[in-house]
Structure 1
Amino acid sequence: KTRERIDPRQLLLFDAGELEALIREQTEDSPEAEESLSAGKKRKKKRGHGRGVIPDNLPREEILHELPEDQRQCPVDGKPMPFIRWETSEQLEYVPSQLKVLVHKRAVYACPDKHDEATLLTAPKPPQPIEKGLAGPGLLAAMVVGKFGDHLPGYRLEDILARHGSDIHRSTVYDWLSCVADLLTPLYDVMKQRVLSSRIIHTDDTKVKLIDHGIRGTRTARFWAYLGDRRNPYEVYDFTTTRERAGPEQFLGDFQGYLQADAYSCYDGIYLNSTGTIIEVACWAHTRRYWHKSRETDSTRAHHVLAVISRLYEIERACKDQDAEFRLAQRQEHAAPLLVELKTWLDEQHFLPKSIIGQAATYTRNQWTALNCYLEDGELSIDNNAAERTMKPVAIGRKNWLFVGSPEAGARAAVLMSLIASCKANEVEPWAWLNDVLTQIPAGASPESLLPDHWLQSHPRHRWEIARRRRRERLRKRYL
């Protein structure tokens, strides 16, 4: 995907210092805000990635390197040299994963008087994720992460198991994944209800091929993503066989709040049928793409709008580290007047309806109320990029596993994708979480206690440091 770059000189249609000067007047007493503005203004020159820092949570193994005793003499006077310190350096090494066999031996006790077998006492075996199944929790977790975290197709999972000395066919792996999805559906349902209890939901969808045995071919199905707000930090997927309105309408149910999505027409009926309880929030990133596309045919007017949108994002960048109340005040003070001016300009312009820039203008005018909605609440986002990012794993996955075998398989895939995505969203290492969850759920643990953010509080050593760093980098780049 190409980046939508524009010539920075085109943005000189506006005074470059005006916006930050206005915001600075409002934040003279806020050191944190001042730092945000400085960071937005002074962009450091890009440097190489350098040598990475090895995380502290990785296990260490010391390897001692000694000098032979006959080489410990001073080269000047030949006197013995005492030890003073270790010169330490660290190197990453790979320890191959391996399969092992857990031999469950249950103690059996019998009465010495030799009664019938009904009197035998046998120690119970802990409940298993798949009763009488071959795979333990750790292996099941590895297969889920491999399939939906690393996007590996079945034959690669089969090859990995073969490389570790086990002859397990991919069809068996698929059966395991189905069993895990069924077992963890109650946990998925809790995540779904938490997302639906949010004030703000981001949603997006993407296509996937579905095998249709009726036509002996494939047809297009959809995966939908629904993201909760910061109080409900979960990412839940849903699978539908069509892109009809019934899919998201059924998922959302009685949801009331802000729904941020693209301008796909199926959402119009949802907003209308909700009688005002679901409020449409549009996406400025989508709008920007229309105008960016039109710059080749009507450069002056396209860059005028792109410059305004860039200023809107400057406001967001300057306020991104502040609370919702501060962001709302700055949007009302600085973004709202820009949008009033842009609307006046749009109303004065005349575009050929079928031209590229005419389509951009029509899209913007039709979405105008929803595009301005983010001015109402500091917790709303200027765009729907958060939901669009959740579509990337699906896009990567479908390049590898190519299609979904049945509607039931699609629904189970949505469950497992939701678990992996919610782990990543909460900076939880997914294998460690799944390994523990697949042990506790069969034993009767409450799904609510196993939600990734709750689980991490009692398992802090499994915080995914790499995910945290990537998330910080993504947030830094969000408004650039």
Structure 2
Amino acid sequence: MKSRTPDSLPRHPDALRDLVLQLLREQEEKDTEHARQIAEHCRVIAQKDQHLSVRDETIARLEMTIAKLQRWRFGRRSEKLSPNQISLWEEALETEIAAVESELDAVLAESASTKREPKTPPRRHPGRMQLPDTLARVEVQHHPESCACAQCGAPLEIIGEEITEKLDYVPGHFQVIRHVRPKMACRPCGTLTSPVLPAQVIDKGLPTARTLAQVLTAKYLDHLPLYRQEGQYLRAGVPISRSTLCSWMGQGEYWLNILAGACKEALLMGSILHADETPLPVLHPGSGKTQKAYLWVYRSQADARHPVVVFDYAPDRKGIHPQRFLGDWQGILQTDDYSGYDALYRQGRITEAGCWAHVRRHFYDVNQSAPSPVAQNALLRIRKLYEIEAEIKDDPPERKAQARRERAGPWLESFHAWLTEVQMQVAPKSAIAKAIAYALQRWTALTLYLQEGRLSIDNNPVERALRGVAIGRKNYLFAGNDAGGERAAAFYTVIESCKLNSVEPFAYLCDVLDKLPTWPHKRLHELLPWNWTNPNIA
């Protein structure tokens, strides 16, 4: 705005008034903009303070968790635990400590990039172990992108080498990958530089992706506890402690969670799902006892082009857990009729499909306890339904549904009439009466498969995915705590989805864990088991 002298002011009162009003409007606009800038500045400061406060609370929480786990680790052990159980108990705690420490390290690393210092100084880590000289070395040379100084353009001179060794597992033996990078200096400006080491699955860690893949598959595919893996490593001439293996497991969880999350997104895109749940004992530290938690498992339809199975950990068997997992998903859910799913069906978005295998099991149990002509008749009728399924299993969904209606439909009508008649003839509180009632009460859900060719006759597709959990439960007995259960769910999700897609889990994890540190998130779907191609197969 131009400065005004008394002589330049308007002489007429109206013109002078207009000028004053204009000046007042301009000043008001300036004041408004200034106030907006102050408010925005205050908002940014408040946001930063909130972020820093949350960070400090997170650090305090993680440190408290580590201290608590350490107390449990070195505290008094229950006499109820056998030596092997003590080893598994320690293994579970060490893995959990490693996972929490990894999370804490990530928060502290973020703190290092801010001006405000964290309340807790960076943790000191023990020195990196030296790999035995007896292991074969494979040298990888890393060359600089340019031999000219990035600061002044002068030629760089090699003044030494930086060597980083990684423990690598090749099926049958171990070797050492020796990364060699030249140290380079610029004499005119004093700049020191060397090529950047490629991103690793565990930053500054000892294992390659193949070694980490071996530890994970040995635990969750071969069901080998870490204390036994420690013995295998020692016999192979590699003295890796169980605590180190636990640390690798804890840090590897980060990458498996990314893959498991992508598997869940793919699963919920389907309109037909199977669901089941299985107990997972979770250790109560200090007592030598376990409490019963659960792995809930969800699987895509049996004939899905890209089958996927997702495990979800929960501390109990309450129906709120499938509600939380499925969210606003809509479709057909095939289950074993556990009451925990009932709330889903009442919402109207999800239709219940029944399981004939469970109906058969009720009649089978009755006949096993005491031979029953009624139970035997029911079993023969159910067998006929499965014979029809075997004959049409390779048909497309539309033809399969038509065949079911034409062949199984009349058979089921006869079966229903027979069950209704027999129900009136047996003792109301007998085992056979309960088996009949179980079938009749669920008849609508049990016969839904006649109308939908993509449905299975039973819930066996998802139950087969639980076999690995059952075997693992016998070998490592329990999870260390809730976080350990969540970790197991992520690992089982990836490994069992590989198996569903005829993908060898070890080969898959070797390749994917090597790629993930630099892989764009928007292309994550390319690394899922059904899209993955083994790079070692031409």
Deviation, structure 1 residue 213? 3.1
In structure 2, the partner of 1:310 is: 383
Mapped to 1, the partners of 2:428 and 2:183 lie a distance apart of 83
Tell me which of 434, 444, 459 is aligned to 1:384. 459
SS in 2 for 1:106: strand
Per-residue Cα deviation, 1:423-480 (whole angstroms, up to 9, x for no partner): 1111111111101111111012432110111113x64839xxxxxxxxxxxxxxxxxx
SS in 1 for 2:310: strand
In structure 1, the partner of 2:152 is: none
Per-residue Cα deviation, 1:169-222 (whole angstroms, up to 9, x for no partner): 222212211211112312211110111111111111111210123755210011
SS in 2 for 1:398: helix
* Pairwise CA RMSD: 1.7
Mapped to 2, the partners of 1:255 and 1:460 lie a distance apart of 38
In structure 1, the partner of 2:393 is: 320
Matched, 1:102 2:174: no
User: Identity of paired residues, percent?
Assistant: 40
Amino acid at match of 1:137: A
Mapped to 2, the partners of 1:112 and 1:172 lie a distance apart of 42
Distance 1:353 1:177, change over 3 A: farther
Distance 1:425 1:109, change over 3 A: same
In structure 1, the partner of 2:471 is: 396
SS in 1 for 2:530: helix
In structure 1, the partner of 2:324 is: 250
Matched, 1:461 2:520: no
Deviation, structure 1 residue 295? 2.3
Alignment of 1:367-446 (within 5 A): 367-445=442-520, 446=523
Amino acid at match of 2:224: L
Mapped to 1, the partners of 2:479 and 2:406 lie a distance apart of 49
Mapped to 2, the partners of 1:225 and 1:449 lie a distance apart of 23
Distance 1:460 1:279, change over 3 A: farther
In structure 2, the partner of 1:145 is: 217
Per-residue Cα deviation, 1:406-433 (whole angstroms, up to 9, x for no partner): 1111111111111111111111111111
Q: Kindly indicate whether the alpha-carbon contact (under 8 Å) linking 1:291 and 1:360 is maintained by their aligned counterparts in 2.
A: yes
In structure 2, the partner of 1:196 is: 268
Deviation, structure 1 residue 225? 1.3
Mapped to 2, the partners of 1:449 and 1:356 lie a distance apart of 52
In structure 2, the partner of 1:177 is: 249
In structure 1, the partner of 2:525 is: 448
In structure 2, the partner of 1:360 is: 435
Tell me which of 288, 294, 297 is aligned to 1:222. 294
Q: Kindly indicate whether the alpha-carbon contact (under 8 Å) linking 1:151 and 1:400 is maintained by their aligned counterparts in 2.
A: yes
Mapped to 2, the partners of 1:460 and 1:268 lie a distance apart of 47
Question: TM-score, normalised on structure 1?
Answer: 0.73
Amino acid at match of 2:519: G
Matched, 1:121 2:193: yes
Matched, 1:239 2:313: yes
Matched, 1:333 2:409: no
Tell me which of 338, 348, 352 is aligned to 1:280. 352
Mapped to 2, the partners of 1:324 and 1:364 lie a distance apart of 25
Q: Kindly indicate whether the alpha-carbon contact (under 8 Å) linking 2:503 and 2:529 is maintained by their aligned counterparts in 1.
A: yes
Deviation, structure 1 residue 224? 1.5
Q: Kindly indicate whether the alpha-carbon contact (under 8 Å) linking 1:283 and 1:384 is maintained by their aligned counterparts in 2.
A: yes
Per-residue Cα deviation, 1:259-305 (whole angstroms, up to 9, x for no partner): 11111110111211x22x21111110110011112225462211221
In the alignment of these two chains, the number of paired residues is 362
Mapped to 2, the partners of 1:370 and 1:338 lie a distance apart of 16
The structure in which a higher percent of residues are strand is: 2
Distance 1:202 1:96, change over 3 A: closer
Deviation, structure 1 residue 348? 1.4
Matched, 1:211 2:283: yes
SS in 2 for 1:218: strand
Mapped to 1, the partners of 2:428 and 2:461 lie a distance apart of 31
Per-residue Cα deviation, 1:71-108 (whole angstroms, up to 9, x for no partner): xxxxxxxxxxxxxxxxxxxxxxxx97111111222222
Structure number with bigger Rg:
2
Tell me which of 421, 431, 436 is aligned to 1:348. 421
Per-residue Cα deviation, 1:368-415 (whole angstroms, up to 9, x for no partner): 111011111111000111111111100100100010001111111111
Mapped to 1, the partners of 2:500 and 2:420 lie a distance apart of 41
Question: TM-score, normalised on structure 2?
Answer: 0.65
Mapped to 2, the partners of 1:247 and 1:420 lie a distance apart of 22
Distance 1:378 1:226, change over 3 A: same
Mapped to 2, the partners of 1:148 and 1:416 lie a distance apart of 7
Distance 1:447 1:96, change over 3 A: closer
SS in 1 for 2:298: strand
Mapped to 2, the partners of 1:98 and 1:433 lie a distance apart of 19
Q: Kindly indicate whether the alpha-carbon contact (under 8 Å) linking 1:191 and 1:236 is maintained by their aligned counterparts in 2.
A: yes
Mapped to 2, the partners of 1:342 and 1:424 lie a distance apart of 37
Mapped to 1, the partners of 2:519 and 2:295 lie a distance apart of 30
Tell me which of 207, 212, 217 is aligned to 1:135. 207
Deviation, structure 1 residue 355? 1.4
Q: Kindly indicate whether the alpha-carbon contact (under 8 Å) linking 1:198 and 1:232 is maintained by their aligned counterparts in 2.
A: no
**Which runs of no fewer than 5 residues in structure 2 stay unpaired?**
1-169
SS in 2 for 1:255: coil
Amino acid at match of 1:182: Y
Q: Kindly indicate whether the alpha-carbon contact (under 8 Å) linking 1:208 and 1:403 is maintained by their aligned counterparts in 2.
A: yes
Mapped to 1, the partners of 2:171 and 2:486 lie a distance apart of 33
Matched, 1:300 2:373: yes
Mapped to 2, the partners of 1:188 and 1:150 lie a distance apart of 20
In structure 1, the partner of 2:345 is: 271
**Which runs of no fewer than 5 residues in structure 1 stay unpaired?**
1-94, 463-480
